[in-house]
Amino acid sequence: MTDAAHADWRTDRIGAALRGENPTVMRRLDASFAVIGDVQFLPGYSVLLADEPYVERLSDLPRPKRRAYLDDLDRMAEAVERACARQDPAFRRVNIEILGNEEPFLHAHVWPRYAWEPPEIVNMPVWLYPRAHWSAGSYRLGPLHDGLREAIARELDRLAPTD
């Protein structure tokens, strides 16, 4: 992928997902896209993107679509939990956040949390990690994360509704 194409999907993550051009998409769900996070200092970090680009908050969705989005979030959180717990015995739990303070589109963060995290951060919000964690090349999503990404995607498939 060229740098221009790489930058392009990041400026319109949902539109790129709808066009099949967002390389972080793991699965298309009922009302959203399950994507692996751009940074992986907490391996398995994932984001649920609403499938409507101009929706800014959960309450903007009609109630049936809102329920579908929250069901997708539940499914993704459980998939991350299962995959991360199998990969790392130090896995503790997932934290789920819908913030929307910086990015003006509906999305939810699913953060795996581990016992090996620094003691001053392990029980705190992930946003307290040093800024270097968010931009360091060593934490950038890459081929090293393919196995975990595939494990989360398989769990998403296993947890798919059967009705």
User: Measured in whole angstroms, how far is the alpha carbon of residue 81 from the centre of its chain?
Assistant: 12
| pLDDT reading at 101 higher than 80 | no
| pLDDT reading at 141 higher than 80 | yes
Neighbours of 90 (CB within 10 A): 12
Token digits of residue 5: 């194409």
The Cα 46–Cα 62 span in angstroms is 24
**Tens of pLDDT, residues 11-63:** 788 888 999 998 999 999 999 999 999 999 999 999 999 998 889 999 999 99
Considering the domain boundaries, does residue 119 fall inside one?
Answer: yes
Q: What is the CATH number of the domain that holds 74?
A: 3.30.428.10
DSSP state letter for 154: H
Task: Tell me the pLDDT band of 3, cut-offs 50, 70 and 90.
Answer: very low
3-state secondary structure of 157: helix
Contacts of 104 (CB under 8 A, 6+ apart): 56
Considering the domain boundaries, does residue 163 fall inside one?
Answer: no
Considering the domain boundaries, does residue 98 fall inside one?
Answer: yes
Query: How many domains does the structure of the chain reveal?
Result: 1
- Residue 7 has what pLDDT? 57
> Between 135 and 74, where is the model more confident?
74
Range of 101's domain? 3-158
Cα angle: 75, vertex 106, 80; to 5 degrees: 25
